[in-house]
């Protein structure tokens, strides 16, 4: 699909959100990702001008694709920050199996680090719009509140989504009065009554995803109850 950069803004410390206006409506599921190809970018390297990003908007908002990414030093990210609003890009294909279950009556636990929040924003916005009955618990780990993308919206979702438990933890924020612990087995068990029952979704750095997978499997959860994605950054 052809698209143009419609909007670009900083949504948290070190994080930008980019909205691509599409020339046709997109079909995708909440939680999927899209490839973005820049045309004649101002910076280049051996990795090329194409990357994939999780989609953060709901499938109901299908006239655009919205992504969020940490600001980085790679040629692609420098180009994405510099190219003018209105610049043409290519979007697609859209793919990925990191999606909500078809049946909305099973509890879901999201274990998230940093910018890994993006696919869950698509899911939560969709759940909110559809008024689904999913029981969702979101553990969201960041160093500080200022660097937590979509934090205010997530707080608001606790009011608009019927069964949504939001557990943020900021491990290095001296002004934060809530949780500051790293997510571990005891932390999860404090908020989830029956840890063997939910479906678990894990997103974050390679180290974080590996650690969370060990936590979840220590509960006796079967591999088929776990979905995970690494956000390596580029």
- pLDDT (tens, 9 = 90+) of the chain, 234 residues, equals 999 999 999 999 999 999 999 999 999 999 999 999 999 999 998 889 999 999 999 999 999 999 999 998 899 999 999 999 999 999 999 999 999 998 777 899 999 999 999 999 999 999 999 999 999 999 999 999 999 999 999 999 999 999 999 999 999 999 999 999 999 999 999 999 999 999 999 999 899 999 999 999 999 999 999 999 887 654
The answer to whether residue 193 is domain-embedded is yes
Query: Do 142 and 206 sit in the same domain of this protein?
Result: yes
- CATH at 124: 3.40.50.80
Model confidence, pTM: 0.95
Neighbours of 2 (CB within 10 A): 14
Q: Report if residue 102 sits inside a domain.
A: no
Cis check for the bond before 203: say yes or no (omega within 30 of 0): no
Which CA distances in Å does 25 have to 91, 102, 110, 185, 207? 12, 23, 29, 42, 36
Q: Which domain holds residue 83?
A: 2-95
Give yes or no: residues 118 and 83 share one domain.
no
User: Which of 95, 127, 157 delimits the end of a domain?
Assistant: 95
Question: Contact 30/71 with Cβ under 8 angstroms?
Answer: no
Domain match, 226 and 137 both:
yes
Domain limit, last residue, from 65, 95, 125: 95
In a domain, 101, yes or no: no
Tokens of 115: 């910018």
Shared-domain flag, residues 84 and 115: no
Q: For residue 186, count other CB atoms closer than 10 A to its CB.
A: 9
How does DSSP classify residue 145? Answer: G
Q: Do both 121 and 209 map to the same domain? A: yes
Task: Kindly state the tokens that stand for 91.
Answer: 């979007």
**Are residues 52 and 18 in contact, defined by beta-carbon separation less than 8 angstroms?**
no
């Amino acid at each position: 699909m052809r698209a143009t950069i419609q909007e670009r803004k900083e949504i948290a410390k070190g994080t930008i959100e980019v909205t691509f206006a599409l020339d046709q409506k997109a079909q995708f599921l909440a939680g999927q990702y899209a490839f973005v190809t820049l045309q004649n970018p101002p910076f280049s390297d051996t990795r090329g001008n194409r990357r994939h990003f999780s989609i953060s908007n709901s499938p109901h908002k299908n006239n655009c694709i919205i992504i969020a990414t940490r600001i980085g030093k790679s040629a692609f990210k420098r180009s994405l920050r510099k190219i003018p609003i209105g610049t043409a890009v290519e979007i697609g294909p859209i793919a990925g199996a990191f999606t909500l279950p078809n049946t909305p009556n099973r509890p879901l636990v999201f274990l998230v680090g940093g910018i890994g929040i993006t696919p869950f924003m698509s899911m939560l916005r969709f759940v909110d719009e559809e008024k689904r009955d999913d029981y969702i618990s979101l553990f969201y780990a960041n160093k500080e509140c200022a660097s937590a993308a979509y934090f205010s919206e997530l707080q608001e979702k606790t009011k608009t989504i019927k069964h949504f438990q939001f557990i943020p933890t900021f491990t290095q924020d001296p002004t934060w009065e809530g949780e500051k612990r790293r997510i571990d087995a005891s932390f999860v068990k404090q908020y989830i009554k029956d840890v063997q029952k939910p479906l678990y979704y894990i997103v974050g750095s390679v180290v974080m995803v590996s650690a969370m997978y060990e936590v979840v499997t220590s509960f006796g959860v079967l591999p088929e109850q776990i979905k995970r994605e690494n956000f390596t950054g580029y």
